[in-house]
Chain A
Amino acid sequence: KNQVEQSPQSLIILEGKNCTLQCNYTVSPFSNLRWYKQDTGRGPVSLTIMTFSENTKSNGRYTATLDADTKQSSLHITASQLSDSASYICVVISGGSYIPTFGRGTSLIVHP
């Protein structure tokens, strides 16, 4: 069964600090991996999309990495801001069917 596991489940950091969120997946075949940010009460917003051949992709202070061999991805947030407080969701798209498998998300709280 295709699965996406995210860690940690929740994280609290101080404003200005960096943090890294983890995503492990067992989806096969693999098409691409996405990271979304979801603010409370809103729909998810795409941060990055990475295909099999991409190791790193950045979007401002957000940098995602992908290791397709170990089936792991990470999302690094640099110099966190209060507005980074949200749920971060890892999604893996299956090749062929293109059915997405969503992780449960990591809840990030940034304190001043």
Chain B
Amino acid sequence: NAGVTQTPKFRVLKTGQSMTLLCAQDMNHEYMYWYRQDPGMGLRLIHYSVGEGTTAKGEVPDGYNVSRLKKQNFLLGLESAAPSQTSVYFCASSNRVSTDTQYFGPGTRLTVL
């Protein structure tokens, strides 16, 4: 039982490049989330999904797109990376959104030059 895994762990992009971050969970959770964490700030919700095939915007969705084609996977895409997207990205999953524990992945450190 690996829990929540994220790939890659580190990535350096040039401005304008695109990439996809992959999140996978093996706990059969319905809900999945993408957050970003910046120095001196709390985690902020980018997008989330309440089930396979459904996604919704969080607090800071601009510049990102997501897809949930399979229940166990949640993809975060950057179509044209900008330096402002330099951050640590965390994926999380839970059974229900309201009161269940969210399990976080180890994070992806992204640098955009």
Which A residues contact B (CB, under 8 angstroms)?
Answer: 4, 31-32, 41-46, 49, 51, 89, 93, 98-105
What are the 6 tightest A-B residue pairs by CB atom distance, in nearest-first order? A43-B104, A102-B42, A98-B97, A102-B43, A46-B101, A104-B42
Beyond A100-B45, A103-B42, whether A51 also contacts B107 by CB under 8 A is no
Q: Judge whether B58 is part of the interface by a CB distance below 8 angstroms.
A: yes
Q: Cβ of B42 and Cβ of A32 under 8 Å apart? A: no
Identify A105's interface contact among B42, B45, B97, B103, CB under 8 A: B42
Residue tally, chain B, CB below 8 Å to A: 21
- The A-contacting residues of B in range 38-84, CB under 8 angstroms, are 40-45, 58-59
Write the chain B residue with the least CB distance to A95. B98
Contact residues in A for B104 (Cβ distance below 8 Å): 43-45
Q: Cβ of B42 and Cβ of A4 under 8 Å apart? A: yes
A101 and B4 alpha carbons, distance in the complex (Å): 21
- For A41, A44, A104, which residue has the most chain B Cβ atoms within 10 angstroms? A44
